[in-house]
Amino acid sequence: MSLERDLVSPDAEGEESQIEAALRPKRLGEFIGQARVREQLSLVLESALRRGRSPDHMLMSGSPGLGKTTLAMIIAAELSAPLRITSGPALERAGDLAAILSTLAEGEVLFIDEIHRMARPAEEMLYLAMEDFRVDIVVGKGPGATAIPLDIATFTLVGATTRAGLLPAPLRDRFGFTAHMDFYQVEELEQVLHRSARLLGVTLPGEGAHEIARRSRGTPRIANRLLRRVRDFADVRAGGVIDRDIASAALNLYEVDAEGLDRLDRAVLDALLRKFGGGPVGLSTLAVAVGEEPETVEVVAEPFLVRQGLLARTPRGRVATAAAWHHLGMTPPPDAFGATLFD
């Protein structure tokens, strides 16, 4: 299981979602981090408002938890426009998309999360809708089928994707503005945490915020969830004040180590080192060894481990670096991958 699933029980997911929504910034001026994206987006929105027209379609790419959905909500708020939310996996047929597009209001913002996972028929319908604000409704089947063009309201599509490389070029080229969301620096996450602490009524000194921020994997969503778990610990065992020692003790209890690795991350490294001698080993084999689905290992654990220089993807399989051996307190073999870089 991932860090986020480990820390939140199924019964608490509804309440957690409500808290997450309450912590989201509502306006662009409240959004912390992503300075370049914020400046670019501000210009796009201001220009559209001055011209009295809907802005170009926008594509947001980046890892989960960096603020793509929040920015979509902010775009609608800044435009004073309604927001319609759906996701790529929910659009299995062209009719699913047509039902949404045909009911959009003028100037509405349509947000499609994980847009790279749309079904091909829906994707092809979206091409025409984005360019000409029209959809073709097919009536009948077989040789007698007829396409009836239907004009739709002018709208702005905001697409979000965690895997921009999977977007087909014809779809990607129809976005007038694209933005890539970067991981946050520790200092930016501290700002996020202080803002969230004020909203939650939590006493969070600077040293406590720093300890949480540096273990948050560069991701605001994780930082906010860790803050809530540390708050619980502090309320019960430390009178509610989160200093560095309390934050450290709480995060250790929740199995988030000093480098931000959680249980799954360490399980992947442990299996790779102890069972497979550091690799190379295939993704499916590694996933079986830690009792997870291959997609979970690939999407949840691997990106952070690669970014931390602890794991490498090679044509032959996954390989632990010398830094991974050192992180688990083990001595790397002389031929460990990256030994010359990390020794």
pLDDT score of 331 more than 60: yes
Give the residue-averaged pLDDT of 301-319: 88
Cβ burial of 124 (10 Å; 0-12, 13-18, 19+) is middle
pLDDT, mean of residues 189-193:
94
Q: Per residue in 2-11, pLDDT tens?
A: 444 344 444 5
What is residue 147's predicted lDDT score, i.e. its pLDDT? 67
The two counts, helices (H) then strands (E), for the chain are 17, 9
84 a catalytic residue: no
Read off the pLDDT of each residue in 201-215 and give the average, rounded to a whole number: 90
Q: What is the pLDDT of residue 49?
A: 92
- Tell me, what CATH number does 131's domain have? 3.40.50.300
Of the listed 69, 156, 161, 321, which one is catalytic?
Answer: 69
24 lies in some domain: no
Q: Is 184 among the annotated ligand-binding positions?
A: yes
Are residue 154 and residue 65 in the same domain, yes or no? yes
Is residue 174 part of an annotated ligand binding site? yes
CB hemisphere CA count around 76 (13 angstroms): 20
Question: What is the pairing mode between strands 311-314 and 317-320?
Answer: antiparallel
Q: Is 26 a catalytic residue?
A: no
Active site residue 296: no
My answer on whether 232 and 278 are in the same domain is no
Asked which of 49-63, 126-140, 195-209 is least confident by mean pLDDT, the reply is: 126-140
Residue 313 assigned to a binding site: yes
How far is residue 245's CA from residue 230's CA, in Å, rounded to a whole number? 11
What is the rounded average pLDDT of the residues 218-232? 92
Q: Is 254 annotated as a binding residue?
A: no
Beta carbons within 10 angstroms of residue 227's beta carbon = 27
Q: Which of 214, 217, 221, 229 does the annotation list as catalytic?
A: 221
Is 221 a residue of the active site? yes
Annotated catalytic residue within 38, 156, 161, 162: 162
Q: Is the model's pLDDT at 343 over the cut of 50?
A: no
Pair (44, 175) in one structural domain: yes
How far CA 109 is from CA of 13, 26, 54, 287, in Å, comes to 27, 15, 9, 39
Q: Which domain holds residue 300?
A: 263-342
> Does the annotation place 214 within a ligand binding site?
no
CATH code at position 322: 1.10.10.10
Question: Has 101 been labeled as part of a binding site?
Answer: no
User: Which pLDDT score, from 0 to 100, does residue 12 have?
Assistant: 52
Number of domains in the chain: 3
State how far the Cα of 312 lies from the Cα of 113, in Å rounded to an integer.
29
**In this structure, are residues 249 and 233 in contact, taking their beta carbons and an 8 Å threshold?**
yes
Residue 338 is assigned to a structural domain of this protein = yes
Determine which of 8-22, 45-59, 306-320 has the lowest per-residue pLDDT on average: 8-22
pTM listed for this prediction: 0.81
Query: Are residue 272 and residue 163 in the same domain, yes or no?
Result: no
Quote the mean pLDDT of the chain. Answer: 85
Cβ proximity of 26 and 195 under 8 Å: no
- pLDDT for res 15: 64
Q: Is 113 a catalytic residue?
A: yes
Per-residue model confidence (pLDDT) at position 1: 38
Write the pLDDT tens digit of every residue in 226-272: 999 999 999 888 888 888 999 999 999 998 988 888 888 889 888 89
Q: Do 176 and 190 have their domain in common? A: no
Cis peptide before 280 (omega within 30 of 0): yes
Q: Which of 9-23, 97-111, 178-192, 255-269 has the lowest mean pLDDT?
A: 9-23
Catalytic residue among 113, 215, 225, 266: 113
Q: Are residues 47 and 125 in the same domain?
A: yes
36 is in an annotated binding site: no
Q: Is residue 216 within 8 Å of 260, Cβ to Cβ?
A: yes
H helix runs in the chain, sequence order: 3-7, 13-23, 35-51, 68-79, 94-101, 120-132, 169-172, 186-200, 206-214, 220-237, 244-253, 263-270, 283-290, 294-296, 302-307, 322-327, 339-342
Residue 233 assigned to a binding site: no
Q: Given a cut of 60, is residue 103 above it in pLDDT?
A: yes
Look at residue 136 and tell me if it is in a domain: yes
Question: What mean pLDDT comes out for the span 129-139?
Answer: 80
Residues 248, 330, single domain; the answer is no
Q: Which of 163, 180, 197 is the last residue of a domain?
A: 180
The DSSP element (H or E) to which 82 belongs, if any, is none
What's the confidence (pLDDT) of residue 50? 92
Tell me, yes or no, whether 20 lies in a domain: no
* 65 labelled binding-site residue: yes
CA angle 320, 321, 326 (to 5 degrees): 105
pLDDT value at residue 339 = 45
Among the candidates 180, 204, 232, a domain finishes at 180
Is the pLDDT at 298 greater than 50? The verdict is: yes
Active-site choice (38, 68, 214, 215): 68
